[in-house]
Amino acid sequence: MATGLLALLDDIALIMDDIASATKSATHKTSALLADDLAVSAKKTSGYATERELPVIWAITKGSFINKMIILPAVFTLSYFAPFLILPVLLIGGVYLSYEGAEKVIEFIFHKGEKKENKKEMSEKEKIRSAILTDFILSLEIIIIALSAVQDKTFEVQVVSVTAVALLATVGVYGLVALIVRMDDFGLLLMERYEGFLKKFGYYLVISLPYVIKTLSVIGTVAMLLVGGGILSHNLEFIHHLTENLITPFGDLLTGLAAGTVTYLVLNAVKECSDGKKASYRMLWLISTGDGREDSIQKS
């Protein structure tokens, strides 16, 4: 009896050790993407009135938990019944992350300072929905990458370790976001209540908030390119051969930037062709209906 109990405890200890090791590996794999998630979340939850900041963050956090409840069972089902589909989904995610990172770089270099015309002001609910949708996409990538890091483990260990990473990511990211967006309020409190060093420290907290968010945005962009490029270069043989002589981070960054730029150009070309076809169809329709006056055609 005692021997059986000891054997059971030994098995449990081995399983827990496997889970701890797998969780550590998955967390390490997703760390760069978590930095991007933090940057995006901080940017999307800033700019609200002070009394609305924490309620908005809590609403997005609840949405993030719901996202995880949808994504985790779907990904585990896919991994169990069709594991061969994990790599294509991972590659699609790599292209998406590369595109997002490259788009930010291109916008910064070529379109910096341009004002977006006819930009519709979003309500608080619309902003929250937008943030939850972005969280869904990033959560999917985090979970897929975490799962790819523990593919050599048993299915049970995969489920526990990836779920732990997903939930810890939500708590950690939005906990840090709450601290960041309330940093200026804490600074004001120090300025009002104290003198000397603490007052000066509070002042620097207030004025540094916009720079912290901008810095996080830059870190997030670099993280997206690194993760996206890393996924592509480590899983596509021909890309790996092109970048194997480069220092790994530098090669991943270039791969992500190149893949994202190509995707950006292709999507823009498709969009322009689609807009051109719509304009042509509109013009033909105006002419066919007898409303082909010059002013009508110009408006189309």
Q: Which residues of the chain have pLDDT under 50?
A: 1, 5-11, 115, 117-119, 294-300
pLDDT tens-digit readout, 24-51: 666 666 666 676 677 777 777 766 777 7
Indicate the DSSP class of residue 119.
P
pLDDT digits 0-9 by tens, 97-155: 888 888 888 888 887 655 454 445 667 788 788 788 878 878 887 888 888 778 777 88
Please state the domain extents for the chain.
2-299
- What percentage of the chain's residues is helix, strand, coil (to nearest 5)? 85, 0, 15
**How many angstroms separate the CA atoms of 100 and 96, rounded?**
6
Nearest Cα to 131, choosing from 42, 249, 219, 205?
42
What's the CA gap between 263 and 283, in Å, rounded? 30
Q: Quote the strand ranges of the chain, DSSP E.
A: none
Q: Write the burial class of residue 266 (CB in 10 Å: 0-12 exposed, 13-18 middle, 19+ buried).
A: exposed
Tell me how far apart the alpha carbons of residues 75 and 97 are, in angstroms, rounded to a whole number: 19
| pLDDT on residue 25 | 62
- Residue-level pLDDT at 21: 62
Contacts with 204 (C-beta within 8 Å, 6 or more apart), sequence order: 187
How many other CB atoms sit within 10 Å of the CB of residue 180? 19
pTM of the model: 0.68
The answer to whether 67 and 132 are in contact (CB under 8 A) is yes
pLDDT (0 to 100) of residue 70: 92
pLDDT of res. 202: 87
Are the C-beta atoms of 68 and 173 separated by less than 8 Å? no
